[in-house]
Structures are given as structure tokens and as C-alpha cells.
Amino acid sequence: MRRTPHRRAVATSALVAATAMLAVGVQAGTGTAAAPPPGTPHAAPAAGALPAKLSPSQRAELIREAGATTAQTAQRLNLGAKEKLVVKDVSKDVDGTTHTRYERTYDGLPVLGGDLVVHENKAGAVKGITKSVQAQIKVTGTTAKIAPAIAETKAVKSAQAQGSKQTEAATAPHKVIWAADGKPVLAYETVVGGLQDDGTPNQLHVITDATTGAKIFEYQGIENGVGHSEYSGQVTIGTSGSAPSFTLTDTTRGNHKTYNLNHGSSGTGSLFTNSTDEWGDGTATNVQTAAVDAAYGAQETWDYYKNVHGRTGIKGDGVGAYSRVHYGNSYVNAFWDDSCFCMTYGDGAGNKAPLTALDVAGHEMSHGVTAATAGLNYSGESGGLNEGTSDIFGTAVEFYANNPADPGDYLIGEKIDINGDGTPLRYMDKPSKDGMSADYWSSTVGNKDVHYSSGVANHFFYLLAEGSGAKDINGVHYDSPTYDNQPVPGIGRANAEKVWFKALSQYMSANTNYAAARTATLSAAADLFGQGSATYNTVANTWAAVNVGSRVPDGGAVTVTNPGSQTSTVGQAASLQIKASSGTTGSLSYAATGLPAGLSIDANSGLISGTPTTAGSSSVKVTVTDAAKKTGAADFSWTVNAAGGSNVFESNVKVSIPDAGAAVTSPITVSRSGNAPSALKVTVDIVHPYRGDLVVHLISPDGTAYLLKNYSPFDSAANVKATYTVNASAKAASGTWKLRAQDVYAGDSGYINGWKLTF
């Protein structure tokens, strides 16, 4: 019996919080989507703006040269006398343009949030400077008014408040200049070690004001031969040695090694060895199988970055990371740790489902690429961009590998089935299908967990690569919406990858938010395709499609906002206001075809109104004409249901909810024409002695998840007996709906007693 409220991460969220998932030349894994219409921007990028393929020694020489002139560069940039530059990275374009990323110090102290990138042409002339903060770095003094011990105590308490049951101060607090908020202040940075509440290593960075003792900011540093793999079939992997002693050491990729932790949680464990050069058997019970998947994921990620973006290794220095498998016991996570430059995989629930899928590997190791380039802070909107970047490049690695056993898709973690119901962790075409992620930017999106605020970046990338609307790619159906209901055409996945990588490596910085990410990708698109080109404009319009910035005007065309599918009932009054705009001054006129009997449109206002008289479905087309006789149109369906039909569908079948186990579902089959209503009522009756343990979703027939109830560690009341309202108007009513419930904390079990849908 539990006597006190507990704090525990949701099983799926714990994985999401750690794995979060997340070519120049012929692009692997071509999809089956229909060819774009004439005029769709698919222009090739300017060859000179593509990254040059630097060898590790060439990159090292560029860094050495930049490091030798930091004083002169600081003077050219008019930095203060106490400011110094430290070279972090240098990238180079084919045309000779260099992009040198610097970190700053002030009076010998690191400046957090003071990073900048200097862009120089082949002749050495400065083309531009990208700064994370514009303010001059200056503080009144570098003597702290509070003791380091106070900062350490506050940092440990911050970690404990996040549910960490085992904390330790990994580093003594050290003084820094915190500039990320715009106004530089003297602060302490403390890194709290130990373990997070789910067993993931803890590297919580806490920034404390050295004058007042107030906490300023915090972020998590842990982001989240022949081989027979579990997820990718039979693969060729890099190994070393000869009979009877082979090792999983890939000498062709920076000496990447794969180790067996054997359920430990520290050190490197033991290097995998074998008497033959054939590894694993494709099952989780064979300890080598997870190692095969990990080694294969590392090699495909290495090859992707090298062959597509000219980057040799995670840091570009030719040094391979290493991988550790069989971490912990029943650990449902995988994570990248930049401090050890290593990738770590748990074995999943019951040690039966290692988290070594290809897109997981690409996702996690891409955290290392982000750390080595923009260094996006793992909190707020920059944290969402950090996670989104890993989802983007994890997906890119999966497409690049072109493996028939795991074809490329825009689903994150679909192979590992962490939810236990066949659903992926995240959907890039419509992130909200997971019940948590954001499809579009809002002023509160930065308050979400970074694995859910990443939805904005994921949705942007999918739309930029593939465009909006319905399509099928490698056997998966997608139907991506836009915030303004206007279509975007996409520029092709290969071009979208190039835009995002160039933006990340040359124009983003630690504090980049979504508005700044738009600026960064437009700068990248201008370099690659030309400012004002069709591709450049598509990048801008795609950001508008996820509610970041505005669309590029296109000469006064008429724009009609698509209202989406409509549902009404015979004998009940209905109304719908059509919204439209035009760049031409003057009035608009409205016309419609296919309206249900009893409805009509006002030609001057665009209001559709009336009382439907006949049940059935129809295809409606609204056409709007402006004063210059230009037109725009919107097509949508309108379903009229018969009066008096059954509105309630119910299940009274009891379904047991296992204690801290996999999610269970209870189905209801609905036979009803048209779409579900915008106020669908979901009445839930769940018996459970500690309802805070439960996460409850409604699953639509197409798999979209609507969160009804999240877990709450301090809600110790019994049972869930409530009616929730869901806007499901975009979904067809007919089909099998499911109530999904999961107990995410050990101690109690319960059951679904029944539930119903009221349409």
C-alpha cells in the first residue's frame, strides 16, 4: 500500500525524454508519392554553397588557423577589452566560404549564450556574423555575493524536484557569465550527477545568479563481418581481427567500438568478441543481436553525415564514438552522453525489446552533432529544436540506409513499439497524433517537454520535404495539415536535409528559438538556392504553415481558408463562415456548388446557412472572386446525418490494467456516416486505487491519440469516472475507436469497467 504521493516519469515519456525521438548524388529510399505538379520548386542547390568534404586534418588546420587570429578577429568585431574568442568549430563551403563558430570568455570566465559565427568569403572578407546575443558582454564585477555551496544546494534541490532519487554534485559550482537572456549577469553553473528517476544518468546543469542566489536556468545534459540484427535484418558491419578472435571494432569509421554493459550502468563494460565473424541471430535473447543493431546504426549514421554533408564523424574530426548495449535492467531508454562521447541502449521492458532501432541510433548520435555545432540548449524552444533536429536526422539516416527490412518513413521509433500497441513514438506529418506533441507554434510551446515542443520542427521538416496533403511513401500513408489551411508543395527530402544541416551548423546558436530557426533556414536557403527563389519562398511559407512568421505575398492571389469537413443533422440549423483574402483592393464575391439541400451561401458575406433537409454526403466547392476577377477556391466534404439516429456507442467489457505494465485498449465499433463532432463526449469508468498512476488516451480509427488524462504523481484519489470532450471533427466517425489506458507506476492495478462515446 502506498502511503505518500510519488513522482515517476510515464514509461513512454521516459523513453521519449531520453531517446526523444529520435546525399549529394542519388537520394536513397525514394518514396512512392505522386510527382509534384509543374512549377513545384525542386531546383538543385548552388554547388558552391554545399559543404566541402573536409578530411579531419583539413578541418584541424582550419581550426588552428582561426585559433591563431582570435585576437585580431575580436578586434574586428569590436568586442570589449575583457572579451576573448575561443574557436569551437569551422566548416567550409565548396566555394571557399568559411563559417567559424566561436565561444566567448569575459575576464577569463566562460560566457554562456555568447557564441557567434563569423562567415568569411574565400578572400577572407566578412560576409556576415550570426550572434546568439546582441548585447555587449559587460558586468560590474566578477566577485560573487553568494557562496558556491548555496548554488550547489539549490542545484541539487532542482534535480530532486524533477524526481531524481539519487543525486550527487558532479562538479563544484564554477563562475560564468550568463548572457542567454540578453542582459549579461555573473552566475554559477553547477552540474548535478547521479541518476534520474528512470535510471538515466543525470547531468542537470543549473545556472544560479551569483548576486541574488536565484535560479536563472536549467537544462539536461543527457540527451536523451555479417550481423543478424533484430530490426534491420541481415547486415554487413565493420569488424576487426581474424579467427578465432574478432571484435566489434570498425576501423573504417573512426574505430567505433561496441561494448556489452551486461546490465551494468557505468564504465564501458566489455568489448564484444567472437570466434567467427558472424554475429547475433536476430533475436533479443542473443546478447550479440543488440550489438549488431547498435554497430549498424553507428555505421549508417557515420556514412550519412560523411557522404551527404561532408562531415567525417560526429565532431567532424574523424574520431568514432562508441556504443554500449544492455544498460541497466529493463531500462526503457537510450541516450547520448557527450561527456563520454558515447551512445547507450537499454533492453526495454523485461529486457525483451532493446532500443537499438536504426532511427533511434541516428537520432541519439545526432544529439552529438548538435552539441558540436549549434549547441542548442536542452530547454524551452531551443530544446525542442534540439530534439527535432535529432528526429530529422534520425529519419534521414533511416532513408539513407535504404534497408528493405526498415524502409525510410516519417515515424519515430516505430520499430521498438514502446507503447505496446503498434504505434510509433512520434509522427512527423502530424505530431499531435501522439496526444502530446505540438503541430504548430504558439507562445506557450516552449513550456512543453522538449520531446513534444519538437513537434513544430518535425512538422516543418516533413512539410518542407514532402508537402502538405495526402500521399503514400514507402507503404505509409500521410496526410499533413497546415496551420492556415493553405497548401505547401515541399522541396524534396534531399534539399530539405541540406537546408536544415546548413542552418544548424552555420546559422543556429545555443539560444535559437523557432523564430530564429526560421531566420537560420532562410539564410541557408538563400545560400543554397538564392534569396527570393521559389525554394526560398517555400521555406518561408512552410514556416507559416506551422504558425512561425508569415507567408510570402504572391502578387495578389485570392486565398480561401479551407474550413475542413463539416457535419450537420437533418432539421437542425447550420452555419459556416467562409474566410478569404486578396492582395487586390475591393470587395469579394462568393459562390458554392454541392451544398446539401436546404443550405445556401451569401454571395457578399460568404456565410453558408440554412437547415439541412436530406441525409447524405456531398462534395462542396466554394469559389471566391476579387475585384480583379482573380479567383481562389476551397474543396471540402459536408455530411448530413439523419435525425434521431443512435448517438451513443458503449462498451461494458472489463479490461484489466496491469501494474506498471504495457498499455491496454478497449474497442468500440461505431457505424455512423460523416465525421465525428467537434464536441465528442468520452465517458470513462476506470477502477483503480491510485488514479494518478494512469495515462488515458482516446484512439481514433486512423490511430490518432487524444490525451484524456495524464499521470499525476500527487493525485492519490481512487478511480477515474469522468466525461471528456474531444474535438474529433477531422476524423471519420465510422470505424473502431479505442480507449487506451496505461499504469505507469508500480504498486497498484485496476481495470477499465466500461466507457462510451456520445456523438
Q: Tens digits of per-residue pLDDT, 300-320? A: 999 999 999 999 999 999 999
φ and ψ of 549, to 5 deg: 75, -175
pLDDT higher than threshold 90 for residue 418: no
The domain over range 148-220 is classified in CATH as 3.40.50: no
Quick one: pLDDT at residue 587? 82
CATH class of 558-641: mainly beta
Q: CA of 469: how far to CAs of 489, 490, 564, 623, in Å?
A: 9, 11, 12, 20
**Which cell goes with 611?**
437547415
Task: Please report how the helices 534-545 and 455-466 are oriented relative to each other, as an axis angle in degrees rounded to 10.
Answer: 140
Cβ-count burial 504-519 (b if 16+ within 10 Å, e if not): bbbbbbbbbbbebbbb
CB-based contact 43:530 (threshold 8 Å): no
The answer to whether the beta carbons of residues 102 and 85 sit under 8 Å apart is yes
> Does the active-site annotation cover 205?
no
| 8-state DSSP, 393 | H
Domain limits, the chain: 148-220, 558-641, 648-758
| E-strand stretches of 23-108 | 83-92, 98-106
CA distance 26 to 451: 31
Q: Give me 756's grid cell.
A: 462510451
Of the residues 99, 228, 363, 451, which is catalytic?
Answer: 451
Best CA proximity match to 689, nearest among 724, 715, 653: 715
The whole-angstrom separation of Cα 365 and Cα 341 is 9
Please check whether residue 354 is in contact with residue 230, taking contact to mean a CB–CB distance below 8 angstroms. yes
CATH topology for 648-758 is: Jelly Rolls (2.60.120)
Read off φ and ψ for residue 579, nearest 5 degrees: -110, 135
Split at pLDDT 50, 70, 90, the class of 645 is low
476 close to 412: Cβ distance less than 8 angstroms: no
Q: How far apart are CA 95 and CA 111, in angstroms?
A: 32
Range list of β-strands (E), 157-222: 166-169, 174-178, 185-195, 204-209, 215-220
Phi and psi at residue 360, to the nearest 5°: -65, -45
Residue range 258-274: mean pLDDT, rounded? 95
39-53, 94-108, 737-751: the lowest-pLDDT one: 39-53
Please give the residue that has the higher pLDDT: either 6 or 627.
627
Q: Do domains 558-641 and 648-758 have the same CATH topology?
A: no
Nearest CA among 129, 202, 131 for reference residue 162: 202
Gap between the Cα atoms of 716 and 625, Å rounded: 59
Considering only CA atoms, which of 59, 138, 73, 58 is closest in space to residue 103?
73
Residue 219 CA to residue 343 CA, distance in Å, equals 19
Name the nearest CA neighbour of 417 among 457, 471, 475, 359.
359
CA distance 668 to 690: 26
Distances (CA, A) of 262 to 222, 331, 343: 21, 12, 15
Strands 342-346 vs 322-327: parallel, antiparallel or unpaired: parallel
Measure the N-to-C terminal CA separation of the chain; round to a whole number of Å. 40
Burial class (CB in 10 A: 0-12, 13-18, 19+), 439: buried
pLDDT at res. 408: 96
> Whose CA is closest to 314, among 300, 301, 297, 295?
301
Tell me the average pLDDT across 640-645. 71
pLDDT over 60 (residue 600): yes
CA dist 441 to 47, 453, 545, Å? 33, 8, 10
CB 36 within 8 A of CB 490: yes
DSSP label at residue 291: H
Helical spans, DSSP H, in 310-421:
358-372, 380-401
Q: State the catalytic residue, choosing from 364, 381, 387, 497.
A: 364
User: How sure is the predictor about 538, in pLDDT bands with cuts at 50, 70 and 90?
Assistant: very high
Give me the chain's average pLDDT, please: 86
pLDDT of 31 higher than 60 = no
pLDDT band at 736 (very low <50, low <70, confident <90, very high): very high
Q: Whole-angstrom Cα distance, residue 279 to residue 292? A: 7
Contact between residue 698 and residue 737 where contact means Cβ atoms under 8 Å apart: yes
Quick one: pLDDT at residue 387? 95
At 128-163, the pLDDT tens digits run 888 877 767 888 899 999 898 888 888 888 777 766
Q: Which of 369, 342, 340, 252 is nearest to 303 (CA)?
A: 252
pTM over 0.85, yes/no: no
| CA dist., res. 334 & res. 355, Å (int) | 6
Active site residue 364: yes
**In this model, does residue 659 exceed pLDDT 60?**
yes
pLDDT score for 714: 67
Distance of CA 638 to the CA centre of its chain: 34
Local structure of residue 553 (DSSP, 8 states): P
